[in-house]
A and B are shown apart, each in its own frame.
Chain A
Amino acid sequence: AQRVTQPEKLLSVFKGAPVELKCNYSYSGSPELFWYVQYSRQRLQLLLRHISRESIKGFTADLNKGETSFHLKKPFAQEEDSAMYYCAFTSGSARQLTFGSGTQLTVLP
């Protein structure tokens, strides 16, 4: 079955420390991977897509097909990065998103 796994429900780091949010997927084809973010009392919004190969708010994510992973990284975390992060993918002709269960990131001062 197609699935996204985010192994950490909670993650805390200190401001200025590197942060990595893990995401693994199970799908035999070529998925399109995304990271969505939800800040406190705000709606879910797209952070980045693997196909764009861009850096948003200092975050990057590289698709590793061999390890079926799409981990989100930032070298120096900021307090305003505190939020819930969801990894998601679409596959083949399906246009709906399949989400992981999310990781709550807290950046401590």
Chain B
Amino acid sequence: GAGVSQTPSNKVTEKGKYVELRCDPISGHTALYWYRQSLGQGPEFLIYFQGTGAADDSGLPNDRFFAVRPEGSVSTLKIQRTERGDSAVYLCASSLNLGDPKQFFGPGTRLTVL
């Protein structure tokens, strides 16, 4: 079956604009994770969902970042008033459930804020 997919693969925006990044997890996976990877660093946790609810959003850097998963499948990461420091690769991962630590990653969305 298909793996985790993310769209767009690349997004270039201007400082101050709003962006949405989409993640489509593996069918049947109830747990979904968002990470951010800056140049030269490992992925850093942002938020994860079990079903429709955000189980832990402690990694979101500030209130400009928000994520939803309204139907328990596709998730959207939303960034308001983008800043140059938001430029990074945003990774999504899913696992069968929160008790399963094996996470499958998507290809990422490269966000560039000019």
Question: Footprint of B on A, CB under 8 Å?
Answer: 4, 9, 32, 34, 43-46, 49, 86, 88, 90, 94-102
Contact = CB atoms under 8 A, between A and B. Distances in A.
Contacts of B35: 96-97, 99
B107 interface: yes
Given A43-B3, A94-B56, A99 B102 contact: no
A95 B105 contact: no
Nearest to A4: B42
A74 B12 CA distance: 40
Given A43-B3, A98-B45, A101-B42, A49 B102 contact: yes
Interface string B92-108: 00010010011111111
Interface of B: 3-4, 31, 33, 35, 40-45, 48, 55-56, 59, 91, 95, 98, 101-108
A101 B104 CA distance: 19
Nearest to B50: A95
A45 B41 contact: no
B48 A95 contact: yes
